[in-house]
A and B are shown apart, each in its own frame.
Chain A
Amino acid sequence: MSAIAACRLMPVWNTEAFVQRALLLLGVLFLILGLLAPLSTMLLKSVQDHAGNFIGLANYAEYFTNPALFGSIINSLVIACWTTVIVVTCAFITAYALTRSGMAGKKGFRLISSLPLFAPSLLPALSMIYLFGNQGILKGWLPVDSIYGPVGIVMGLCFWIFPHALMILITAMSNSDARLYEAAKALKTPGWRVFLTITLPGVRYGLVNTIFVCFTLAITDFGVAKVIGGQYNVLATDIYKQVVGQQNFQMGAVVSVILLLPAILSFWIERRVQKRQTAQVSARAVAIQPESQPLQDNLLMLFCGGIAAFLLLVIGMAMYASLISFWPYNLTLSLDNYQFDMMDGGGWDSYFNSLRMAFWVAITGTAVIFLLAYLNEKVKALPLLRKTMQFLAMLPMAVPGMVLGLSYIFFFNSPDNPLNFMYGTLAILVLNTLVHFYTVCHLTASTSLKQIDGEFESVSASLKVPFYTTFRRVTLPLCLPAVLDISVYLFVNAMTTVSAVVFLYSADTTLASVAVINMDEAGDTAPAAAMAVLLMFTALGVKSFHWLISRELLARSQRWRHA
């Protein structure tokens, strides 16, 4: 009897193990097809001629003998360095004010400073035209002749990258040990010395991380430079010009490889830094209770107020300009600019396509990424495969959107590829966007899975509960906050992204963010601003909805946390 039972149980266990292994294998296969294979095809294309013959580094030689092309490397570096310096400085002071000072209105400042996360990067660029363009309301304040160029690009990027930097620095500064400061106080250490010997070293990893995130975002961004760059070429706009403007795919691949280098380098350094980071906050650490110091608090408040004013000015200007009948000669308000059907870029259809795409990215992306993260964390078999998966999951962070988009053309448009049927459909846009934003979601999922004790799996196994039941009844409900975060992150980014999808849309799948580019190219600046504003409000609406839902759900499913 017991032998029979054992016989019946063994296959069950085997099936389970088989399913786990098969899923793991499928997951790795998915990342290879969605990421590694397209990237490899692109590398290959950069050493081929138009007909597909291997020509070694001839394309690279052509690139470096053309000053119009390689000049963009310097331009991109200049832009990225300036943006990084400005953003990191401002974000550092703001983060300090929000975590370490007794300043009033912290919640309000945090809210305002997160707004740019919901706007496409095109929005600040369009706004700059109305603020500092030749008919801009603040034209006189501009210290240089023209906003169309490096100054405009840097200003637009600062707006857009600031919240990313701020988030990392706030996290870094929140984790500090108040006892160090108490000791310093007892020893009568002067303030500047406390800052240099305690504050700065305490956040050094967060700071290094912020610098690299800013640099990577700035050097790979396409939207801002496209709209406000004028004749100032950068690498990302060069790829677009080569591919869309001249259909010179090989040269596009060469520029892509060059753009990939700084991104990979900063990714690699960041990983190194991460590894060396050890726990700074011990179990006995005491959280800092900021004391109020009126002079310092007021100065910080002035600074944060300035930042908040800039952010609100940029958003407000885009909103206002989108409602003006005919800038700058007829300032009556109207909704004419929202008649997208009379403009380039696909009209209102493109907006609804964007909604559909964002919906599918959020649904499929959350399912796929969370499941794969789960397998990676909780399955103990096939360590080599899991290592590969971990690496592939981290890689998308280092791949600029333009590069990923171009890789997809090469890989999926090849007639020999059985996946060729996806080309020109909404599915390829969904896949591309999912992969593009994979890493952050994967990290969110992994972090939340790591918090769940492995004992659950051991107990379930010994109780002969299949792993998917444990997954459904224990793991998933426990990780619900992370799952919701991932889905809304994917939705918002899918709505606002432009860099990768600009190569992949077709006549039936035009997207709102691409329509912004097209309308701007045709000179319809105000309708472009209108669409960008619409995208921002849609993303904000979804985020608010998410906030309401998660509050409700958390109250129900996370009661154990407070028990």
Chain B
Amino acid sequence: MKLMAKARVLAAALGMGAALQAQAQTDLTVYTALEADQLKSYATAFEKNNPDVKIRWVRDSTGIITARLLAEKENPQADVVLGLAATSLLVLKDQGMLQGYKPAGVEKLSKKFVDADATPSWVGMDAWVASICYNTVEAEKLNLPKPASWQDLTRPEYKGHVIMPNPNSSGTGFLDVSSWLQSFGEEQGWAFMDKLHTNVDRYTHSGSKPCKLAAAGETAIGISFAYRGAKLVTKGAPIEVIFPSEGLGWDMEAAAIVKGTDKLQAAKTLMDWTVTRPANELYNESYAVVAMPGVAKPIKNYPTDIAERMIDNDFQWSAVNRSRILKEWQQRYDSKSEPKK
């Protein structure tokens, strides 16, 4: 009897504790295109200092998250977007879907990483850059020379040995295409891609996959991004990360509040965290170029002069032309559904 009573009190106390906790905690739905292996450490770092806010990640590739946000325009499901390409956030801003907010301490960030408006709509976190993952073992077997430039990839000996991400789903794929169009000019850019297309074995859903396939020897050359390459080299994959001589396309990972969220306070807390020094140090574990100057330390298997190799990217141009470029790309290359011989 006594035991029963005790158990009941305990149960009540537990139940109440859980109820209190549930009441105090805000679940924040955060749409993201960050890599899966980054999500845990970001959430842990943030929730350690803000135990009353819990992050619920919804992760997919850049193109998918962007399409999803646009599709949900009338009835947004996300509270915050974090770690999505700036070109995508610019599109959302044009659609009036972002809630302007000036995070505390945003002035410490480098100017080009913050939306120029007085109340910024988005705040940058870091930059990720295009690069080529080149499998030295397979290349030797197939007698493929090491490419030094983007143009090299159109040479006939690479036929069937190149894999790149589909820009419609992958943010890396889109920054490749937009940077080629910017650095070669529209006409030359499409001509380059026409030639590249004849060499491409297939287009993948995500930007990581070409590099992972190169690391696994499924292809000799994967067009991907530097972080993934560096990470796979560290893991022991026989690949070399190549930075083509014409310059590297890049995009910024950025964060923003979705207009209409009913958890504005919690969303602001998260935005404040994204501009802090510890957050930037965390970004630096994966990216060599981060929003806060003076934070970046060199990364293993990553060139130190990467900032100088990045092209002069016009985000506004990329954002305005985004849907036109993607449609054109799809019409030119996605329709060819027959497997290449």
Contacts and interface: CB of A to CB of B under 8 A. Distances in A.
Interface of A: 66-68, 71-72, 75, 129, 133-135, 145-146, 148-150, 230-233, 244-247, 249, 326-330, 341-345, 415, 506-508, 521-525
B337 A68 contact: yes
Interface of B: 29, 36-37, 40, 56-61, 63-64, 67-68, 70-71, 75, 137-138, 160, 168-169, 201-206, 208-213, 216-219, 235-238, 330-331, 334-341
A521 B205 contact: yes
B236 A524 contact: no
A480 B12 CA distance: 41
B40 A341 contact: yes
Given A344-B36, A523-B209, A134 B219 contact: yes
Contacts of B204: 521, 523
A362 B341 CA distance: 46
A522 B208 contact: yes
A247 B36 contact: no
29 contacts: A67-B335, A68-B335, A68-B336, A72-B337, A135-B217, A135-B218, A146-B201, A146-B339, A148-B201, A148-B339, A150-B339, A246-B67, A246-B168, A247-B68, A249-B71, A326-B236, A328-B216, A329-B137, A341-B40, A342-B37, A343-B37, A344-B59, A507-B29, A507-B56, A507-B58, A508-B56, A522-B205, A523-B208, A523-B210
A244 B337 contact: no
A233 to B, nearest CB: 4
A241 to B, nearest CB: 8
Contacts of A342: 36-37, 40
A222 to B, nearest CB: 14
A134 B212 contact: no
A26 to B, nearest CB: 31
Given A68-B334, A507-B56, A245 B339 contact: no
Contacts of B57: 507
Given A146-B201, A245-B67, A247-B68, A326 B217 contact: no
Which residue of B208, B216, B237 has the most chain A CB atoms within 10 A of its CB atom?
B216
B209 A75 contact: no
Contacts of B40: 341-342
A507 B60 CA distance: 11
Contacts of A134: 138, 217-219
Given A134-B217, A326-B236, A525-B212, 8 more contacts: A134-B138, A232-B338, A233-B337, A246-B168, A326-B235, A329-B236, A342-B40, A521-B61
Nearest to A151: B339
A78 B339 CA distance: 14
Nearest to B75: A415
B64 A245 contact: yes
Contacts of B339: 146, 148-150, 230-232
B212 A329 contact: no
Nearest to A133: B218
A529 to B, nearest CB: 12
